[in-house]
Chain A
Amino acid sequence: MSTVVLLAITGLGLGALYFLVASGLSLIYGLMHVLNFAHGSFLTLGAFLGWMVADRIDATSWLGFAVSMLVGAAIGALVAALTELLLIRPLYERHIEQVLVTVGLSLATVALFEGIWGSDPRFIRGPAWLDETTGIAGARIPNDRFVVIAVAAAALIAILLFLRHTRYGMIIRAGVENRAMVTALGIDVRKSFTLVFTLGGAAAGLGGVLASHYFGYVSPSLGGSLLIFAFIVTVIGGLGSLTGAAVASVLVALLQQFANYYLSGTGDFVIVLALAAVLLVRPTGLMGARA
């Protein structure tokens, strides 16, 4: 029983990280039909700069932790916005070229991070409480899992509220459905492109800081390894669907954790099998409206 609880909560924590990456990917794809390979770099940069700032303040203090999350989100948002404005927008509507540019950006930035910070992982510290455990149903759960889950849940709620109750949120929802019609109502849909990049970048940057605590280190390849699972999550959840991304994040992470434990480390394959199964049965994903 305690193993199941541990696996479930750890899986939820991993799912929370997947969601922070996948939410942006899914919104960006849904609205702009751009697959953003550079999304992992937003995460990595958020993690590194968040860690540097926390280290300056006092990595073991709650203030340092809080500030590092803010910095991670802000950096992710800033870099994502610049990426949209400088690299994506000039290639308006040329989807393959847009993907290629993000691929190039991902290559260049990961190499740059390696040049600056080295390719080995840097082990980090946080407030002492994060490294302690809490007992639930006999399982000792590391406390950072709870923080990751809570922050991701808060991010989900915040994004949902934004999408439901603001005019820009409404434009994004409408644009995911039918972008041409949004412009035909007199709305400059490109502003919302920058906006979803910014939002997605903020979530990824925040995810970077949390991932560094979840795994205990930062490294230039941190974003890239999460990105691939986030891609799988967005396809399974249905491209463009935020709730789909949330549900699929949790399902994928749980499946991965349990398969890794009970099926001798086959988590990654089980996920790819699940992806293949979803595509065969429902090519648009669990909650996607169209391919």
Chain B
Amino acid sequence: MTRTAIRAAGVVVLVVVMAVLPFLNLQVPGVLPSPTYQPGALSLLALCMVFAALALSYNLLLGTAGLLSFGHALAFGAGAYGLGIVLEHTGLSLWSALLVTLVGAFVLAQVTGAISLRVNGIPFAMVTLAFAQAGSVLVRRNPGETTGGEEGLGLATDQVPDWMIGVSNTRNLYWIALAMLILVFLVVVWIDRSRVGHVAAATRENELRVRVLGLQPYAAKLIVFTVAGVLASLCGAVYLLLQSGAVPRVVSADFTITVLVMVVLGGVGSRWGVVVGGVLYTLLNQRLATLAHSDTVESLPAVLRVPLSEPMFLLGTLFILVVMFFPGGIAGAARSVASRSSAREERQRDQARLAESAA
């Protein structure tokens, strides 16, 4: 079997395992709060998949096009709040409402992208941050009682099919999250392999050379930015269904930074890496919060207790360490381990051959 075939088989097995998980009684103590067939574990896993998909969409910006955006939360929030508001104020069915939301997300990404891509690099980061900030302020201000302000927005369930509502139907939402993750993954692969993806990637390396070749870096970047935005909005919409609501935090700059942390932890530019990063971050965030309130930590002296009881302190520090010492993230570390072990295997094979020929 070729490498690609092995890989494809691995992917199929993984997807099948994920799909049948709600029927299995797997327990992972310390990671999952319940056996896998119960809602607790399923909703956590679904959340992991939403964030993994969101990290994938962000990787399209940073990994493919080299765009450091601090406004990705705006797209995610537009999906979550957009769907919530459409469902509450129109009689549209869930699917029509989702379509309306995604069209809105497309327009939003086009407009903000068209303006912010007028600058590059760090100024681009600042401008996207400013847009996201405006969105964040808008949501918190609660204009016309639409967003629910600081309280957040609850999901209006009238138009949502019954099989998606309630704790007993968590597994259905889990499958929706899984389907969405697969869809996002496929779209991202498609973009990465398309002509637009290649131009965006070439622009990341050397914009001047792309221009000299007569290609249009701006158009390619805008398309990538828009696709990433719409995908993030889709993640936001699923997040709304999963959490039965949205809170202002998902539109904040901090939230974008969380996504950035997932992508960097997983390894910028590696699709599998960022999926792992998204899942790991979500689990870690849950676990560290539990750790913060554990008796062990409570009993420590203040010098240790204060930092250990702040999950974001630990994650922030971990993030700094990864950036400084493991720039490839988890994917990079895995690659170097793999190449080292394959080098070792080769050495062993060489030695074996040497021993054979000597005998």
Partners in one complex: yes
A191 is an interface residue with CB less than 8 A from chain B: no
Least CB distance from B316 to A in Å reads 3
In the bound complex, CA of A279 to CA of B113 (Å): 12
Please choose the segment from B83-91, B320-328, B344-352 that sits at the chain A interface, where 4 or more of its residues have CB less than 8 A away.
Answer: B320-328
For chain A residues 83-130, which have a beta carbon within 8 Å of chain B? 87, 90-91, 95-97, 99-101, 103-112, 114-116
A231 is an interface residue with CB less than 8 A from chain B: yes
The one of B118, B122, B316, B327 in contact with A283, judged by C-beta atoms closer than 8 angstroms, is B118
Please choose the segment from B51-59, B133-141, B237-245, B273-281 that sits at the chain A interface, where 4 or more of its residues have CB less than 8 A away.
Answer: B133-141
Which B residues lie within 8 Å of A99 (CB)? 68, 122, 125
Which A residues lie within 8 Å of B127 (CB)? 235, 275, 279
In the bound complex, CA of A275 to CA of B66 (Å): 23
Interface of A is mostly: helix
A35 and B133 contact, CB distance less than 8 A: no
**Please, what's the 1-or-0 string for B274-314, where 1 marks a CB less than 8 Å from any CB in chain A?**
00000000000000000000000000000000110111110
A135 is an interface residue with CB less than 8 A from chain B: no
Known: A35-B122, A235-B130. A269 touches B138 (CB 8 A): yes
Which A residues lie within 8 Å of B261 (CB)? 104, 107
The one of B120, B134, B311, B319 in contact with A104, judged by C-beta atoms closer than 8 angstroms, is B319
Among B121, B254, B316, B319: residue with most chain A CB under 10 A: B316
B306 and A115 contact, CB distance less than 8 A: yes
B317 and A291 contact, CB distance less than 8 A: no
Which B residues lie within 8 Å of A276 (CB)? 115
B253 is an interface residue with CB less than 8 A from chain A: yes
Which A residues lie within 8 Å of B202 (CB)? none
B257 and A107 contact, CB distance less than 8 A: yes
Least CB distance from A277 to B in Å reads 9
Least CB distance from A81 to B in Å reads 17
B141 and A265 contact, CB distance less than 8 A: yes
In the bound complex, CA of A239 to CA of B306 (Å): 37
Which B residues lie within 8 Å of A269 (CB)? 134, 137-138
Nearest A residue to B323, CB-CB: A100
Determine the interface band of chain B, counting residues with CB < 8 A from chain A.
Answer: 35 or more
In the bound complex, CA of A110 to CA of B257 (Å): 13
A33 is an interface residue with CB less than 8 A from chain B: yes
In the bound complex, CA of A245 to CA of B327 (Å): 33
B119 is an interface residue with CB less than 8 A from chain A: yes
A112 and B320 contact, CB distance less than 8 A: no
Which B residues lie within 8 Å of A112 (CB)? 306-307, 310, 313
Known: A100-B264, A283-B118. A235 touches B319 (CB 8 A): no
B129 and A101 contact, CB distance less than 8 A: no
B37 is an interface residue with CB less than 8 A from chain A: no
Which A residues lie within 8 Å of B138 (CB)? 269
Which A residues lie within 8 Å of B323 (CB)? 91, 97, 100-101, 104
A115 and B121 contact, CB distance less than 8 A: no
A235 and B316 contact, CB distance less than 8 A: no
The one of B118, B125, B130 in contact with A280, judged by C-beta atoms closer than 8 angstroms, is B118
**Please, what's the 1-or-0 string for B213-239, where 1 marks a CB less than 8 Å from any CB in chain A?**
000000000000000000000000000
**Please, what's the 1-or-0 string for B246-278, where 1 marks a CB less than 8 Å from any CB in chain A?**
000000011001001100100000000000000
In the bound complex, CA of A129 to CA of B118 (Å): 48
Known: A100-B264, A100-B319, A103-B260. A235 touches B134 (CB 8 A): no
B125 and A35 contact, CB distance less than 8 A: yes
Least CB distance from B146 to A in Å reads 15
B313 and A272 contact, CB distance less than 8 A: no
B175 is an interface residue with CB less than 8 A from chain A: no
Least CB distance from B157 to A in Å reads 32
Among B66, B306, B323, B327: residue with most chain A CB under 10 A: B323
Query: A residues engaging B (CB < 8 A)?
Result: 29, 33-35, 87, 90-91, 95-97, 99-101, 103-112, 114-116, 224, 228, 231-232, 234-235, 239, 265, 268-269, 271-272, 275-276, 279-280, 283, 291
Query: B residues engaging A (CB < 8 A)?
Result: 66, 68, 115-116, 118-123, 125-127, 129-131, 133-134, 137-138, 141, 253-254, 257, 260-261, 264, 306-307, 309-313, 315-317, 319-320, 323-324, 327
